[in-house]
Each structure stands twice: as C-alpha cells, then as structure tokens.
Amino acid sequence: MTTAFLFPGQGSQSVGMGKELAESYPVAKQTFDEADAALGYKLSQLCFEGPEDQLKLIEITQPAILTVSIAAYRVVQQEAPGLKPSFVAGHSLGEYSAHVAAGTLSFADAVRTVRNRGKYMQTAVPVGVGAMAAILGMPIDQLSVVCSKAGQGEIVSPANINSPDQIVISGSVAAVQRAADLAKERGAKRAIMLQVSAPFHCALMQPAQDELAKDLASLTFSVPKTPVVKNIDGTQTIAADEARAALIHQVTGAVQWVKSMQTLVAAGVDTFIEVGPGKVLCGLMRQIDRSKSCMNVEDKASLQKTISAVSS
C-alpha cells in the first residue's frame, strides 16, 4: 500500500471541528493550545463553539482548518505509528498543513502565516469587486477559452481545477458573470456564482501575494522529509526554497488539483487519506479516479474506521 495524506482548504470548516479529538487525545489538545499561544487568542474556542460567523472570517478560518488538520495528523501519528504517508498534498491553504506534516515549516510559524495570509487576501480586493463561480461539466481547455473571451480587459481565469467535472473561476464581478453565462451557452452543465469574500487564486490577489512573500522570506524552511505535491504545477518537491516559492505563487496561481492527484497516482499511490475537517477532497478524488480508495480522519469514529481499513 502506498499512501498519500491530503489536507483540506477553506470551505471545510464547521463549528465543533476538532473538539472530540481535543477531548480524547492529549496530543490534539496540545495542538490547539499551541495555536492559541501562537495567535494570542482562543482559536480553540472558536473551532469548538463558534460562533459560525466568526469562524467564517477568512483570517480565522485559515488557521482554524490548519490547526484541526495538524491535530488530526498528530493523532494519526500517535494511534497508528505504522501509517506513514509516502507523499503529502494540500488544497490551497491545505498546502501549509502538508508542509507542517512534512517538517518543512514549524506549526507555530504556519499558523501565524496563514492568519496573515487570510488578512492579506481579504484586504487585497475591496468587497464587491471580485467574484468566483463554479463551472460544472466543461473541460479546462474549453473553459480557458471562455475566460479569455469573457475578460474584455478585466480579469477572469480558472482558479481551482478541482476535478474533470468541477472548475472554479475567479476575477472581477462582471467578467466572472460574463464567463459563467458564456460557459452555459457553450455547454457547461451548470455555472454557479459562489458566496465568497474575495476572488482567490487570480491576478487580483497580487497585493496579497506581495505581502505574503515578505512574511515567507523571513521564515525558516527545512527540507521536506516527505515529498510535497505543489498546487501551482502539480509536481512534487523536497526542496526548501522551491516549497517557499510555491506557497508564494499559489496566491495568484490556480490550484492544479487534478494534476496533483494524477502525479500521485502516477507515483503509485493507491490509498488517499484526507486529514482534517470534512470530506471534500475524498469527493473530488471520486471524480478524478474512482479506482483509488480515499478515507478521512476528522474525529474518533473516522480515525478508527480508517485505521481498521488500512490494517485489514
């Protein structure tokens, strides 16, 4: 069995996430305590009790998902020491979780960095200026042409290539709306405008990328102990400087999730484990390659189920 651990990104948050892990496993509680200390406020309380509107604030959502993911990862390490990933990958924000798991970045540095990443992304584009839309049932090459035609001097481009059937586009409001309408005209199954606070993973995020680059330049990056598959191009790295550059460029670059999963499948991965809140990445895996098994770890029940499945 060759295993890859996958770490979720924004949108996987829910009130109560991580609470059972923290109550059941001291190593998970310690992870939340570390995050609270690094940030200077009770992130743990927001994860466990909400309120939801605060947990949805991007500068809180990002460190919250990272913390739950690393708490779950550390519990897996402790409860199933034989279950070690041959590769790690994370969706957008999840790439930071992957690097903590790989030993590239310290947990405290990652938590503080993604809090700032959230702030920079939120302030890069005034509210109401940017938009995102999910386009279902249109191949990436056709959708890229649609975006080019719909731009008309404004920005719109593929932002998350999540599966062959689901691609999210991002840019200025009017251009995204034009692209969504044109995609439907040209045969897309659906085009859904998303409720998001900013247009992520497009050129409008350049101010956020510039700010984040300064933060990342000041951090210590170690050589990853486990190969990390990068969002920006779907290739794997075990180089510290390459890891840093990839985290910088993914702010404006598209999340190449399909390529990332194809890289892992080509490397012989047959078992994928989503570590952290939710099952979004397992759902995408079913659309990318149904022949591969995908399990998740987010609480006691899913942990035991996954351990039983991999040891049988």
Catalytic residue set:
92, 201
Crossing angle of helices 280-288 and 257-266, rounded to 10°: 70
DSSP 8-class letter at 224: P
DSSP 8-class letter at 204: G
Q: Which two tokens stand for residue 239?
A: 């180089």
b/e burial code for range 12-44 (CB count within 10 A of at least 16 → b):
bbeeebbbbbbeebeebbebbebbbebbeeebb
- Give the total residue count for the chain: 312
Nearest by Cα to 196 from 118, 275, 89: 118
Cα–Cα distance, 200 to 196 (Å, whole number) = 9
Residues 6+ apart with CB under 8 A from 123: 207, 208
Query: What 3-state class would DSSP assign to 291?
Result: coil
Are 251 and 121 in contact by the 8 Å Cβ rule? The answer is yes
Q: Could you give the strand order of the β-sheet that contains 166-172, starting from the edge strand earlier in sequence?
A: 156-163, 166-172, 130-136, 190-193
Cα–Cα distance, 191 to 176 (Å, whole number) = 10
Cα–Cα distance, 272 to 184 (Å, whole number) = 33
The overall longest dimension of the chain from CA atoms, in Å, is: 56
